[in-house]
């Protein structure tokens, strides 16, 4: 793996935690993870996971059911 791949994996793991266990918005999560553009964060998340952050949260957030 390249260094960039490792960084992206870490960021996606952290993003998943925030999406599942916090009420932060997608934009707030992207800024917390030091992305300057929430749209880029969302594209990267979807590329890595196959789901947009919103869909990931709605499919996995047991607190919202």
pLDDT of residue 63: 56
Rounded to two decimals, the pTM is: 0.87
Element (H, E) at 59: helix 53-60
pLDDT confidence bin for 60, thresholds 50/70/90: confident
Judge whether residue 11 has pLDDT over 90: yes
pLDDT of residue 65: 46
CA distance 33 to 65: 27
Residue that wins the pLDDT comparison between 54 and 65: 54
pLDDT of residue 58: 92
**Contact indicator for 56, 19 with CB cutoff of 8 Å:** yes
Average pLDDT of the residues in 40-63: 91
- Identify the three-state secondary structure at position 19: helix
């Amino acid at each position: 793996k390249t260094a960039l791949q490792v960084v992206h994996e870490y960021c996606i793991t952290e993003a998943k935690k925030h999406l599942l266990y916090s009420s932060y918005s997608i934009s707030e999560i992207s800024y917390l993870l030091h992305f300057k553009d929430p749209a880029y964060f969302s594209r990267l998340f979807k590329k890595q996971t196959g789901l947009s952050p919103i869909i990931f949260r709605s499919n996995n957030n047991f607190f919202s059911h």
